[in-house]
Amino acid sequence: MSAASQAALPRWVDIGLMPIVNLIQALLVAGLVVLIIGVNPIDAMRIMAWGAVYDSVAISYTLYYATDFVFTGLAVAVAFHAGLFNIGGEGQAYVAGLGATLAILLLDAYLPGILLIPLGLMAAMVFGAGWAFIPAYLQAYRGSHIVITTIMFNFIAASLMVYIGSDLLRPPGDMLPSSREFGDAAHLPHVHELAALLGLKMPSTPLNLSILWAAACCVFVWIFIWRTRWGYAIRAVGLSPKAAVYAGISPQRVILIAMCLSGALAAGVALNQIIGYHHRLLLDFVAGAGFTGIAVALMGRNHPIGIVLSAVLFGALYQGGAELAFEIPTITRDMIVAMQGLVILFSGALAYMNRPWIARVYAMFNRRAILAEAT
C-alpha cells in the first residue's frame, strides 16, 4: 500500500505546480534574510527580477549563464536515469576544458574555425567522458560509490588543472596560470556578431553559439533516453536494477555508457566558456556550474524541457543577483550566493517537502469533484 505522500498526482501538479510552490517558498525565506539586514525585500526582488530581463544585455547574460546550466543539468539527468548521482559535472567540465585547449593550441595555426571548433568540442567531450569513465569503472566493477568518487574527482581535477595551468601551459613571462590566447580561428561566433551580419544591432555580450549546441544536446538526450534501446536499458537499470539483470541488460555497461555520456554533455561548458568566451584555458572557469547543474536537473525533473526552464531560472538568478549586488551595496555577492543556495535547498534537496500537503489538498478537491459528478 502506498502512503498518502506517494499518491499519484496528475503531471501538471508534479511537474508544474510543485516547482513553482518550491520556488515561492525559497524566495519568501530569501526575502526574510534580506529583511533582517535591513533591505526592503520587495525592492530587492524587483531589482533582481528586473535585472535579469530588463534589456537585451540582461537577457543575453541570463541566457549565457543558462547555457552552462543546460549542459551540466543534462549531464546530471542522464546519469540520474541510470540511477547514478553524478556530482562530478564540475570536474568533468573542467577537464573537458583542458581537452578543448590542447586540441586548439595544437591546431589553431593550421585549421580554419569550421574544422577547429568541432575538433575542440570533440576533444572536450572525449576528455569530459574520460574523466567520468574512471569513477564509472570503479562503480561498475569495483563497487566504489559513484557519489564519493565523483566528488573526489572534482578535487583531483582542480589540483591537476592548477598544475597544468601554471606549470605546463603558461606562456613564459605571463603571470596568470592560464594558457596562451587562442588564434582567431578558434573563436566561436557570438550571437551579437551573427546578428550584426543580419543587420540587427545587438550589444556585445558573451552569449555565443554554444546555445545552439545546448539546444541540440536537449533534443539528443530526449531522443536517446526515451526513444532508443540504449535509453531503455539506462532507464531500466535506473528504475529497477534487478529487473534489468533479469532482462539480460548489463548494469556495468549501462553505468559506463551513462557516465561517459554525462561527462561528454558536461563538456559543453568548455565550449561555452573556453572556446566561446575566454579563448584561453582559465583556472576555475566552470565556476560552480557543475554543482548548479544538480539543482537544475532536480528542479527540471531530469527532463530536457524542465532542465531548459530551470536553467533559465538559475541563469536569471545569476544575472539578477549580480545586478542586485551592484544596486544595493548592503547586499553583497555572498548574500546572492545564499539566495541561490536557498533556491537549490527548496527546489533540490527539499523538492518533495510540499508534496504531502499538496496531495492532500488535491485529494480533497478531487473527491469533491467526484462527489459533485455523482450527484
Partner 1 sequence: MPAQPVGNAESPSAATRPAAIELRGIDKSFGAVHANKNVSLTIAKSSIHGIIGENGAGKSTLMSILYGFYTADAGEILINGKPVKIHGSHDAIAAGIGMVHQHFMLVEPFTVLENVMLGAEDGVLLRGGAGKARAELERLARDYGLNVDPDAHISDLPVGEQQRVEILKALFRHCDILILDEPTGVLTPQETDQLFQILRALNARGVTIVLITHKLREILAITDTVSVMRQGEMVATLPTKQATREHLAELMVGRKVRLELDKTKATPGEVRLSVRNLTVVDAKGVKRVDDVGFDLRAGEILGIAGVSGNGQSELLEALSGIRPLSSGGITLCDLEVSPDAPYGPAVVREYGLAHVPEDRLRLGVVTAFPAWESVVLGYHDDEEYNGRILMDRDAMTNACGKLMERFDVRPRDPELRCGNFSGGNQQKLILAREIARQPKVLVVGQPTRGVDIGAIEFIHRQLLALRDAGCAILLVSVELDEVMSLSDRILVMFQGRIVGEVDGDEADERTLGLMMANAHAQADEAA
Write out the residues near partner 1 by the rule CB under 8 A: 1-4, 7-9, 223, 227-229, 232-233, 235-236, 239-240, 242-248, 250, 359, 363, 366
Closer Cβ to partner 1, 165 or 300, answer by number:
300
Closer Cβ to partner 1, 231 or 315, answer by number:
231
C-alpha cell at 11: 503531471
Closer Cβ to partner 1, 1 or 198, answer by number:
1
Q: How many residues does the chain have?
A: 375
Type of residue at 301: R
Nearest-angstrom CA–CA distance, 162 and 159: 5
Check: CB of residue 270 under 8 Å from CB of residue 100.
yes
Closer Cβ to partner 1, 42 or 245, answer by number:
245
Termini Cα distance of the chain: 30
Closer Cβ to partner 1, 55 or 373, answer by number:
373
CB of 302 to partner 1, least distance (A): 13
CB of 147 to partner 1, least distance (A): 22
Closer Cβ to partner 1, 17 or 195, answer by number:
17
Q: How far is CA 251 from the centre of its chain?
A: 25
CB of 252 to partner 1, least distance (A): 12
Q: Which parts of 143-199 fold into alpha helices (H)?
A: 146-163, 191-197
Q: How far is CA 102 from the centre of its chain?
A: 24
CB of 363 to partner 1, least distance (A): 6
**Running DSSP on this structure, what letter comes out for residue 330?**
T
In the block, which residue shows the cell 546555445? 211
Check: CB of residue 331 under 8 Å from CB of residue 337.
no
CB of 231 to partner 1, least distance (A): 8
In the block, which residue shows the cell 561528454? 264
CB of 369 to partner 1, least distance (A): 12
